[in-house]
Amino acid sequence: MTKGKVLIIGSNATRIEVQGGGTGATGQYLNETVVPALALIEAGYEVVLATPNGTQPHIDEASDSADHFGGDVAAYERARTFFYTDPAMTKVRTLRSVIAEGLDAYAGVFVPGGQGPVVDLMQDADTGEILRHFHDRQKPTALLCHGPVAVVSAMSNARDFRAALIDSDTPKAAELAKGWPYAGYRMTVFSNSEEKVVEDHILHAKLYFNMVDALNTAGAEVITTATDFEPNVIVDRELITGQNPRSDHPIAKAFVTALDLSLVAA
């Protein structure tokens, strides 16, 4: 017996649009996926990984390193083995099948980062339906690094909102965001200065929009650290957000605590 099931929403994106045309390689971060997943399992929860098309997320090569595990090679190798061989990570569901089965079966939902969610999850209708379900029931909802931008999908016009951001039409995007369920929520996300590091040293190109600007335009109150890559977790009602890859362990701890408290309250 487990304490309950937790849904992990993964991205299927492998490329992200960059200014000037073309795309850059992207995906999902290994540590941001595995560290919280293992923490959930160790706390007594069952994790279910689902993506828009039902295939396993692509791990961004930039995250496939012991550097994201504090230089701990053993922890890094354990993470890779878990992601690529454990049924919790390899038996991937479609988001639609999870919805059809019934979301009430899940105690909470988690969205890891990497830039992948910026491409697909933030404008994915199934992701939006899932997040609205958990929001309406005030069930623990955790999102890490770029993952918090997925809450945009809870808008009725998420695809048009994203398109307006790409067109730099902030007034149109703000108008499209009216009625967004997370308006007024305090949250964090990968900061603009952190994104510049990725643009300069990994993508070698500039994105069309930053995550902080996107969420502020949507109506969120975004809080980021003064120092880049310093762990940061913000909790507001059911929503738990982490700023960057180094927030993996802190958000896992906060999420498990919220799930346990939710069980007690039930």
What is the Cβ-side half-sphere exposure of residue 262, based on CA atoms within 13 angstroms? Answer: 24
- Can you give the CATH number for the domain in which 183 is found? 3.40.50.880
What is the extent of the structural domain holding 122? Answer: 4-265
Separation of alpha carbons 128 and 7, rounded Å? 14
Query: Which tens digit of pLDDT belongs to each residue from 204-214?
Result: 999 999 999 99
Domain count, the chain: 1
Separation of alpha carbons 187 and 215, rounded Å? 9
Q: State yes or no: pLDDT of 3 exceeds 90.
A: yes
| Average pLDDT of the segment spanning 219-246 | 98
Cβ atoms 209, 152 nearer than 8 A: no
186, containing H or E segment: strand 186-187
Query: CA torsion sign, 41 to 253 to 202 to 8?
Result: positive
Whole-structure pTM value: 0.98
Query: Which tens digit of pLDDT belongs to each residue from 56-75?
Result: 999 999 999 999 999 999 99
Separation of alpha carbons 202 and 80, rounded Å? 21
Predicted pLDDT at 266: 79
Predicted pLDDT at 37: 98
In 10-105, the DSSP E strands lie at 15-17, 23-25, 45-51, 93-94
| Average pLDDT of the segment spanning 105-131 | 98
pLDDT category at 235 given cuts 50, 70, 90 is: very high
Query: Which tens digit of pLDDT belongs to each residue from 124-146?
Result: 999 999 999 999 999 999 999 99
Tokens of 25: 């390689």
Separation of alpha carbons 193 and 47, rounded Å? 33
